[in-house]
Structure 1
Amino acid sequence: MSELSKKARNRTRVQMILTMLVIVSIIRQFFLGNYHNMFLGILTLILFMVPQFIDKKLGVTIPVGLETVILIFIFSAEILGEINAFYVKIPVWDTILHTTNGFLMAAIGFALIDLFNRSDRFSIKMSPYFVAFFAFCFSMTVGVLWEFFEFSMDWFFGMDMQKDWIVPAINSVKLNPTGANIPINVDVQSVVINGETWNLGGYLDIGIVDTMKDLMVNFVGAVVFSVIGILYLTHRGKGKLAASLIPQVRDTNSEVSEK
């Protein structure tokens, strides 16, 4: 059996296992009467088909390694994170997923710009550094738009997608009794909410820290992939790690000739 067929078999095996776990989760949520989580499970199954859709409709081959990361990311975000509340049970879960998201969005941005860069219809050829920079910017833009979405869902629909953080101290010029533009450091032990004192050990932040943390780790994921992209373009065809993570545009002319 060739190495390519082994990789394809492993990819199919991973997808089958994850799909079965999602189906079990959907059935479980049905018997629990949690129809919202059932919808999330069905949405997960639909998202599982996105890599194959991209492969067939856009002519972009998604390597086995990247497709596996995408499937695990979707499963981790929807089934583990949302349905099984890993976001609450494991504090670093959201950080891990946002870092991975920055990595994946950079991969998508890389594939898009590389598609144009290798097309004969465009006379301008971009350097590997510009392609990697575009991938980085694409990832950060998607990250910002997602934070806009989280804020909108919290503000208009009363959700808590921007998770609260406990901040033990604040620095504010508003609390300076002299009125000078010099911040005063205040250690916060408790807060009063609707007349009730909550000993939280700090100030209850309702989104700013979470948003900035998400964007920072998105930045890390985007930078990591951009570096891999630069190495891949400057040594195209070399390096197993890069080849397993970089989406590739299929040569339609060669496909036609093979047929």
Structure 2
Amino acid sequence: MEKSYGIYLAYFFMALIALNALRALFRGEYNAMVTAVLMLGMTVIPFVVAKRMNINLPWFVFFLVALALWIHTAGYVQGYYTTFYPYYDKIAHIVSGTAVAVLGFLGVIFVDKYMKMNLNTWFIIFFTIIFGMAMGAAWEIYEFLVDFFFGGSLAGPMQNSLNDTMLDMMFVLAGSIVVALLGVFWFKQHRKEEITQGARIPV
């Protein structure tokens, strides 16, 4: 993995997640602490994958993942989902939608390489949007189930109305489209093989 100054932005938000975990621990909010620890663990996954597969991921991939997970962590631990409702929730969805779409974009390129599918550029762009929307829909189903079985999350009800759910999906779609458009511009100057060059599947 290439080192760049941008990667320190990811480290910064990882540190903020860790501080939120400590805050929850000292306040005796153990459910919030567990949530923060899980979020922190998820920020490490891209680093592990990049190292094991010898992938030079751009710094903004780590940054987006860490930022999205910090937003969710702070929303629960600091109560931002409630304090700044509904704006904070929408910011969380557009950032998460962007991060997930980036992972989908990179993921399909690696699948294309190892499965020797020879996918064309426009299929990859289309898949990026569909993947982002699919993950957004899966999250909305998760929110519905949490509300249905547990009466809500640490921040209260996760879904307040049909309008709220549809707006969430629209913000996820917006983030996915932004990534897709950036992908179009990227493909005009680069080949998809540049991303997978040197990568390997660990045995």
Contact 1:26 1:41 (8 Å CA) reproduced: yes
Equivalent residue letter for 1:127: N
Unaligned 5+ residue runs, structure 2? Answer: none
Match of 1:135 among 125, 128, 145: 128
Q: In the alignment, what sits opposite 1:93?
A: 88
Equivalent residue letter for 1:157: F
Matched, 1:233 2:192: no
Q: CA deviation at 1:141?
A: 0.6
Q: CA deviation at 1:222?
A: 0.7
**Which of the pair has more CA radius of gyration?**
1
1:29, 1:218 → 2: CA distance? 29
RMSD: 2.4
Decide whether aligned partners of structure 1 residues 83 and 213 sit closer, same or farther in structure 2, where only a CA change above 3 A counts. Answer: same
2:187, 2:113 → 1: CA distance? 11
Determine which structure has the larger helix proportion and give its number.
2
2:183, 2:199 → 1: CA distance? 23
1:25, 1:104 → 2: CA distance? 21
Q: CA deviation at 1:95?
A: 0.7
SS in 1 for 2:122: helix
Q: How many residues align?
A: 194
Percent of aligned pairs with the same amino acid: 22
Q: CA deviation at 1:212?
A: 0.5
SS in 2 for 1:49: helix
Decide whether aligned partners of structure 1 residues 224 and 10 sit closer, same or farther in structure 2, where only a CA change above 3 A counts. Answer: closer
Contact 1:18 1:75 (8 Å CA) reproduced: yes
1:220, 1:22 → 2: CA distance? 26
Matched, 1:251 2:198: yes
Q: CA deviation at 1:213?
A: 0.6
Q: CA deviation at 1:15?
A: 4.2
1:16, 1:223 → 2: CA distance? 27
Instruction: Write out aligned runs for 1:69-218 (5 A).
Output: 69-78=64-73, 80-90=74-84, 91-119=86-114, 122=116, 124-159=117-152, 160-164=156-160, 207-218=161-172
Decide whether aligned partners of structure 1 residues 162 and 34 sit closer, same or farther in structure 2, where only a CA change above 3 A counts. Answer: closer
| 1:182-204 deviations in Å (ceiling 9; x for gaps) | xxxxxxxxxxxxxxxxxxxxxxx
Q: CA deviation at 1:101?
A: 1.7
2:157, 2:171 → 1: CA distance? 17
Contact 1:128 1:234 (8 Å CA) reproduced: no
Determine which structure has the larger strand proportion and give its number.
1
Contact 2:132 2:172 (8 Å CA) reproduced: yes
For normalisation by structure 2, the TM-score amounts to 0.84
Decide whether aligned partners of structure 1 residues 54 and 26 sit closer, same or farther in structure 2, where only a CA change above 3 A counts. Answer: same
